[in-house]
Structure 1
Amino acid sequence: MPLDLEEQEQIDQLKAFWQKYRNLITGVVTAVLFAYAAYSGYQWWRTSQAAAASQLYETMVTAINKGDKDQTLRAADDLQKQFSGTPYAAMSSLVAAKIASDAGDSEKAMAYLRWAAKNASDQSYVAIAKLRLVAQLIEQGAEKDFAEADAILKEKPVTGFEALWLERRGDWYLAQKNTADARKSYEAAWVQLNQAKEFPEEARRLLKVKLDAVGGVAQ
């Protein structure tokens, strides 16, 4: 069926448009397809990584239940090396730090905590790692340890952990026999901890003991 003049004109316009912009259109479509393929591949990779990391974490849990310290720490090391981008790596590092600390290997414990503080993708794990690292450094008690702990405590607290940051600062002062500033930090922590109802009662009881020890008054 022959085209009328209006239809023929529209076709000619489309042809002209395509001739002028075909390279641009082809490039955009290709870019979109590549982006979709990359996104799909990334999602598959994340799922695959998480599944493999989960299996290795289960191996670590089994080793813990068996009391196998060496296998536990090896699993934590493997999770750091192979699956650093997954939450399992940070979780295992925190667990490994506790196990190493209980075994009297404070240097190894602090190495795990430093790794988690630097590499954890979840800010809660970052906060826990930093707070536990500060506690370990204070316990070590050398000048360089106090300096490292001080540097961590001067960082902006992870949201939701402000009270515990203040409590650790109080510990830092107290370890250096600065009772007055320790009391101020503990009192500030007490105010914030009472406002943060999500913290367990045990946290308040522990802080109350510290406050009593420095002559503070916790109402």
Structure 2
Amino acid sequence: MAEYETEEQQVEALKDWWKQNGLAVIGGAVLGISALMGWRGWNWHQEKQATEASDIFAVVQEAVNKNDVNALQEQTKTLRDNYAATPYASLAVLHQAKNLTEQGNTDAAEESLRWVLNNSKQETVQNVARLRLARLLLADNKVDEAQAMVGSEMSDAYASLANEIRGDIFVAKGEIEQAKEAYDQAMQSASGDGVEYLQLKRNNLGS
């Protein structure tokens, strides 16, 4: 770095440097501030979306408790259309799919569950959707599609249910030995009354 004999020389050198680099410094500062403001703005938007979605989901839960089908469908549609990126949308659609299944509208229930699979970022929610969709597909005699839903491994919390559905699928396909093995695996991670229920299924297939 150059050395300057007087303060005046330092000032003049600084002025010269600023003439050459000042615009770049200002531009960099503006970009930095803009990036910071953009990041903060994005966070604010995300928080606002989550808060609004949470409030709507509370209405969904109330509709479920009161068996208010119209409110459930209306509020779930709002979450799907405007808050799809939030976890509340997928949770609401799971409620919707259950209600549609109970009404016997399995095609609409399947569509709802596929929406969850395509939009949810939560593994737990995805697993629930996969298991429910597998049951619906099997009941609709779409055996291969049902098998695809439970073809990959799931976390320990869902292993028993997944293996039970695999067993049901093997029974539907007439593959009894594979069904026995699936039920045996399901019992290994089941608990309480679930073990007895699975044992009954297993016993019905013979020794």
Q: Indicate the TM-score class for this superposition, using the shorter chain for normalisation.
A: 0.7 to 0.9
Match of 1:123 in 2: 123
Provide the aligned length of Structure 1 versus Structure 2: 203
Matches within 5 A, 1:1-219: 5=5, 7=7, 10-11=10-11, 14-15=14-15, 17-141=17-141, 145-154=142-151, 156-160=152-156, 161-191=158-188, 193=189, 201=192, 203-215=194-206
Match of 1:197 in 2: none
**CA displacement at 1:56 relative to structure 2:** 1.8
TM-score by length of 1: 0.77
Counting aligned pairs with the same residue, the percent is 25
Partner Cα separation in structure 1 for residue 81 and residue 50 of structure 2: 14
List alignment gaps of at least 5 residues for structure 2. Answer: none
Partner Cα separation in structure 2 for residue 204 and residue 17 of structure 1: 80
**CA displacement at 1:41 relative to structure 2:** 1.4
Partner Cα separation in structure 1 for residue 48 and residue 135 of structure 2: 36
Partner Cα separation in structure 1 for residue 174 and residue 195 of structure 2: 23
Partner Cα separation in structure 1 for residue 14 and residue 159 of structure 2: 63
Q: Give the direction of change, closer, same or farther, for the CA distance of 1:32–1:163 in structure 2 (3 Å limit).
A: farther
List alignment gaps of at least 5 residues for structure 1. Answer: 195-199
Cα deviation 1:135-158 (Å, max 9, x = unaligned): 1101111xxx2232233233x445
AA matched with 2:36: Y
**CA displacement at 1:13 relative to structure 2:** 5.5
Partner Cα separation in structure 2 for residue 124 and residue 64 of structure 1: 21
Cα deviation 1:1-44 (Å, max 9, x = unaligned): xxx72655655554555455444433432232122212221222
Secondary structure (helix, strand or coil) at the match of 1:118 reads: helix
Secondary structure (helix, strand or coil) at the match of 1:5 reads: coil
Secondary structure (helix, strand or coil) at the match of 1:121 reads: coil
Partner Cα separation in structure 1 for residue 74 and residue 10 of structure 2: 70
AA matched with 2:201: K
